[in-house]
Structure 1
Amino acid sequence: MKIRASFLLELVVNLALPWLAYRLAVPHWGETGGLIASAVPPVIWSVVELARFRRVDALSVLVLLGIVLSIAAMAAGGSPRMLLLRESLVSGAIGVAFLVSLVMPRPLVFYLARATVARENADGAARIDALWHARPAFASALRLMTLVWGAGLTLETALRAFMAMTWPIERFLVVSPFVSYGIYGALLLWTLWYRKSLHQRTSDTDGVTDGFAG
């Protein structure tokens, strides 16, 4: 029940309150002011979460980077529709970075997995390095995960860009969070399933694959 209540509160803060803030602010400050007001609830939520857990999670990073992009867009004379893309520009850049890393010796998921496991186990980084060299199937799995996440994040940005440029702003504010949450949720569920499948096929890597879903 506690988890469900927390999830519902997160949906209210990130879906309902931005729309309500936009509706209340537009008559007084116009579309740009409404968009800035719509960012206030998620920002406050991220600050509270940061204060509670004493760490910067992925959501906080996206929101903070989104604010920086919004300020930069305003300073450069950015239109309200460009401000709509502030979070997606960040996730899109990350998606492209994932895809570009596929041509490198080691993809980004390798470094994310190694960093995650290293925080949980003293020898975690060394074990990931050993698996990378000893098991080609393990390396292929990390490359596949990098491809899926890169493609998913890039798709999310492309869809939000299309909606931001062609839809009314109010409709975008209502629908786009469901698109983003849907894609992120699908990526997470696929990662959990694939991690379990990989763990079953690599029986001697107990504890290592647990870091992939982070």
Structure 2
Amino acid sequence: MKIRPGFLLELVVNFLLPWLAYRLARPHVGETGALIASAVPPLVWSAIELVRFRRVDALSAMVIVGIVLSIGAMALGGSPRMLLLRESLVSGAVGVAFLLSLPMRRPLIFYLARATVAREMEGGAAHFEALWRERPGLASAMRMMTLVWGVGLTAETALRAWMALTWPIERFLVVSPFIGYGIYAGLGLWTLWYRKTMRRSVEASAQASGIVS
């Protein structure tokens, strides 16, 4: 896949700008105020998307939910272990959301994929909707990806929560990043492998159909 300008802009707005807003605001308004400031870029982006395309940006919504969860976790207390737990809330919430969306007509990854395609090509959302209706394999693949990412993110949160509550803080700080990045890397590699497998399957089916016809 080529990295398109729209995708890069989406990453900047939803990840780089919130981080910059947080870092710039924290010395002046404290951590809570800085978290609120970090929500401004994705909120503005979502408002622009709503005005232009009459839809809410899915990735921005997830980022905003994560920020809100972080602010809510601060209200639970400022103990060291609670602060360690707070780091896992976002990925855990996303994982649970993935799993809860499985019984729905369209799982959560469908909306993330459609939003990405819509930015990459003119009429991308309608094209993706058509593919969803015409290719049952796409729906099955999206549900499988939703399941795997939901289980992976939820398991990562549960493991890190157990570590934060039972391990010495120093050990957690050393080991936890390797656990988190390792799980994300594993999920990413699995996704690449699964996409290639599905693509080969679709190509093989297309060739078989051509031979039959």
Interval of TM-score (by shorter of Structure 1 and Structure 2): 0.5 to 0.7
Q: Distance in 1 between matches of 2:107 and 2:72?
A: 30
Deviation at 1:126, TM superposition (A): 1.6
Q: Distance in 2 between matches of 1:73 and 1:79?
A: 11
Cα-to-partner distance string for 1:31-76 (whole Å, 9 max, x where unaligned) = xxxxx99xxxxx9xxx9xx9xxx9xxx8xx869946x655544444
Distance 1:115 1:69, change over 3 A: closer
Deviation at 1:116, TM superposition (A): 0.7
Q: Which amino acid aligns with 1:150?
A: G
Q: Distance in 1 between matches of 2:70 and 2:102?
A: 30
Q: Distance in 2 between matches of 1:123 and 1:78?
A: 47
CA-atom RMSD in angstroms: 3.1
**Is there any run of 5+ residues in structure 1 with no aligned partner, and where?**
1-35, 38-42, 205-214
Taking the TM superposition and a 5 Å limit, the aligned residue runs for 1:1-214 are 65=66, 69=69, 72-203=72-203
Cα-to-partner distance string for 1:3-40 (whole Å, 9 max, x where unaligned) = xxxxxxxxxxxxxxxxxxxxxxxxxxxxxxxxx99xxx
Q: Distance in 2 between matches of 1:193 and 1:167?
A: 34
Deviation at 1:199, TM superposition (A): 2.1
Q: Provide the TM-score with structure 2 as the length reference.
A: 0.62
Cα-to-partner distance string for 1:140-160 (whole Å, 9 max, x where unaligned) = 010000000000000000000
Residues 107 and 146 of structure 2 are in contact (CA less than 8 Å); yes or no, is this contact kept in structure 1?
A: yes
Q: Which amino acid aligns with 1:94?
A: V
**Is there any run of 5+ residues in structure 2 with no aligned partner, and where?**
1-29, 46-58, 205-213
Tell which deviates more after alignment, 127-136 or 93-102: 127-136
Q: Which amino acid aligns with 2:84?
A: L
Q: Distance in 2 between matches of 1:114 and 1:62?
A: 17
Deviation at 1:125, TM superposition (A): 1.4
Q: Distance in 2 between matches of 1:176 and 1:63?
A: 24
Deviation at 1:85, TM superposition (A): 1.5
Distance 1:163 1:62, change over 3 A: farther
Q: Distance in 1 between matches of 2:148 and 2:201?
A: 20
Distance 1:72 1:126, change over 3 A: closer
Deviation at 1:168, TM superposition (A): 0.2
Residues 81 and 169 of structure 2 are in contact (CA less than 8 Å); yes or no, is this contact kept in structure 1?
A: yes
Q: Which amino acid aligns with 2:116?
A: T
Deviation at 1:187, TM superposition (A): 0.3
Q: Distance in 2 between matches of 1:161 and 1:129?
A: 38
Residues 65 and 87 of structure 1 are in contact (CA less than 8 Å); yes or no, is this contact kept in structure 2?
A: no
Q: Distance in 1 between matches of 2:127 and 2:200?
A: 17
Aligned length: 152
Q: Which amino acid aligns with 1:144?
A: M
Q: Distance in 2 between matches of 1:70 and 1:108?
A: 21
Greater length-normalized contact order (CA 8 Å, ≥ 6 residues apart): 1
Q: Distance in 1 between matches of 2:174 and 2:63?
A: 19
Q: Which amino acid aligns with 2:178?
A: F
